[in-house]
Structure 1
């Protein structure tokens, strides 16, 4: 049946090609994002910015006018998603200093550099969770218009929280009561955000948390909430938060039993759809290795798009990686990460790949593949499960699964390829050989 489908597809689509726009990726092993057995000797026909046909060599006809791109010996897969990035930061270790010094460069220097680095790492879609509203919308829209390179971005704009931290009012909005919460969410929705980011909700009343989520859902916006503390999770679950972020700041060995019971009760309610969670473990899990083996800090790839003065400032900020206050609890927290992630997985949560990219010593050019590597090689997760957490499921939660997330007919041609078998060696993703975004080869 599959062969017949490919033959029928070939006969249907061949007549629709136009000169100069058709590409054919030929020969690679295709991991299409749906989770089934990879397709050997694959052929992917791209017309303009969309995928027109998927098949195999000898079965699917390649148009005579197509630009043929060989993927022989390569793993071919959908472009990666990173579901938790911060375009406004680039690895600098002093947030207070950064927040006072660099806002004038956010829109035209810092955030575009972050976006370009993500794209060169094979990230063709990303969710930015926490940034100034105007700048976030501007960068997203300029990327979409083809004015600057970067992934297709989904942005939250400013965090919603009880009170902004001093000096962060540009990208953190406080809410005082239910009325204020609804007004702030409406302002973000009308400003054009793609989701709402909620943090420190354990400091709010349940009524205020409910108001944030309810108002966001009126605008068909998903609500993404911090899960650092148990009460953040409890209040978020009661309110109907769609996706939680992180695995917690504490060194507690596991989530409390009552929290796990609430999570299991929520995942059992299939009428509500999946409960999503972005654990963002790589930054913590790899800290000690990066601290003691500094090759990643010395890798010039993370300089891409940044002025030398900014690069030198970032370097100076982590001159002594072992002294950074941000990571002092990490050696205690690290052993808890695998247990907590497995608690969530076993409870039926849909896990998503996200990295907190941009936090101290974590660069957009490197973070995403490291997250996949930790899941596969440290937590022993199935590689196919992990790849779907970076392709299929992110598109699903963002409501764009008809256009993104898999390599299939009619969807945007967001495709990456690496030399070798990525299902056996997930670390191959650290050096993506081919990046196609919306049908255009960008690497």
Structure 2
């Protein structure tokens, strides 16, 4: 009898063979981006950059965790929040454009701290179109459509993602604020390099074999101006085993990154690895543990101020039965903003994700892991650990933009209050990314990234999807013009 771990590895090897078919497409996409200078004029006008903007009359959830402010007035000048006050308690500049938000709720734009833009949520399927630049640009716009105004790429093809980031900052593409770790640092043959074709692995990972390689690798990434460093410290679990980075190399990477002023997030999957990562100086852990946290781990996370990014959405997605896929594809929110390329690929039920869903033992593993992860989130939060929103968007059925709202829902289902979940996806996420002085809350001096929704998310966290307006850098996003319906 083949054990579950062997079957999982066989499925992942099948994924590698399929990825070889699209390697050329991915490389071509990168080359396309090298020559990319500006977005099509059709999309470049999606933001109205008025100098003065006032939002008045709405209920304000400022992202700090403070009680909401009714009849709030938010004054925005040149893309920054100038002042926030109750109606009648401050001065509204003459000649400003005014948005009447009466009966609605204002909150900070959401922040997704864990996405992968080079993959598009389809599996992958046999189609290389998933990896083309048009799909990536579509998904960047999807983040804005769903009110996610800041994202962090947690591992992508390095040159491609850094150029995307720089183009967004230069205003030549439409999308959320983008931070990037560049490649994932792992060991030779480790996750994710083990499961990628060599040309993609060379761009998307750095495989360390010795202590002497650490400084050159980290210093080179610092010179490329990555925003953080991401390390995988994971040898797998009962469902699959693979090589794991040596502990001394993990410590060396973290030390070298900190010397370069870079924060480090560490991908872990089991409790013992999480503890090693925290003791080694990690600033945050991705996924955390899919086995039960103990109080030693909780104390380590809390006392050292380590951020915990549980990525519940991707684990729930892995546990979702095959029969649910078609129902998901029929949802209006999926049909309206998920790329046609991705939807078509998923409809074929092809790729390693669907092979896993046909394996009862693997499905049972992920179903149990998901329940444990929810319990871990509850225990960690109740004991003062800093929880942040991150989705692993780009993994199968974890849709760019839309998944951020799924993560809010799952955080609440795991025991956080709606207010606590919103803070996890705004202020705490900004703290994790090192940007809390610039964004993450609605207060004077911060970037004017604001989401206006119908309803009250404190009563129903699902209200965050009832989006009325999205504002990025003080400009109103024209959501109706973000997509070509043939994409």
CA contact (8 A) 1:284 1:334 kept: yes
TM-superposed CA distance for 1:35, in Å, is 1.3
Unaligned runs of 5+ in 1: 1-18
Which has the higher mean CA deviation after the structures are superposed, 157-166 or 337-346?
337-346
SS of aligned partner of 2:285: strand
CA contact (8 A) 1:226 1:232 kept: no
Residue among 55, 59, 64 paired with 2:85: 55
Residue among 376, 387, 391 paired with 1:351: 387
Aligned to 1:198: 231
Aligned to 1:297: 329
Which has the higher mean CA deviation after the structures are superposed, 25-34 or 336-345?
336-345
In 1: Cα distance, 2:466 partner to 2:396 partner: 22
Aligned to 2:241: none
In 2: Cα distance, 1:386 partner to 1:307 partner: 28
Aligned to 1:26: 56
- Deviations 1:4-63, CA, capped at 9 Å, x for gaps: xxxxxxxxxxxxxxx952111011000111211111001111111111111122222222
Instruction: Map 1:405-420 onto structure 2 (within 5 A).
Output: 405-420=440-455
Residue among 315, 318, 322 paired with 2:347: 315
TM-superposed CA distance for 1:433, in Å, is 1.5
CA contact (8 A) 1:40 1:56 kept: yes
In 2: Cα distance, 1:228 partner to 1:418 partner: 35
TM-superposed CA distance for 1:149, in Å, is 1.3
TM-superposed CA distance for 1:341, in Å, is 1.4
- Are 1:245 and 2:286 an aligned pair? yes
Residue among 114, 126, 139 paired with 2:164: 139
Distance 1:314 1:290, change over 3 A: closer
Aligned to 1:8: none
Distance 1:291 1:22, change over 3 A: farther
TM-superposed CA distance for 1:169, in Å, is 2.8
In 1: Cα distance, 2:415 partner to 2:251 partner: 37
Aligned to 1:114: 139
Residue among 46, 53, 60 paired with 2:76: 46
CA contact (8 A) 1:89 1:110 kept: no
- Are 1:130 and 2:155 an aligned pair? yes
Which portions of structure 1, spanning 4 or more consecutive aligned residues, are displaced by more than 6 angstroms? Answer: 303-307, 319-322
Distance 1:390 1:31, change over 3 A: same
In 2: Cα distance, 1:388 partner to 1:306 partner: 26
Equivalenced residues, count: 409
SS of aligned partner of 1:41: strand
SS of aligned partner of 2:140: helix
SS of aligned partner of 1:117: helix
In 2: Cα distance, 1:140 partner to 1:200 partner: 26
TM-superposed CA distance for 1:64, in Å, is 2.4
TM-score, scaled relative to structure 1 = 0.85
TM-superposed CA distance for 1:177, in Å, is 1.1
TM-superposed CA distance for 1:294, in Å, is 3.8
Distance 1:310 1:233, change over 3 A: closer
SS of aligned partner of 2:277: helix
Aligned to 1:333: 369
- Are 1:394 and 2:429 an aligned pair? yes
SS of aligned partner of 1:28: strand
SS of aligned partner of 1:233: helix
In 2: Cα distance, 1:169 partner to 1:302 partner: 33
Aligned to 1:427: 462
- Are 1:183 and 2:216 an aligned pair? yes
Aligned to 1:91: 121
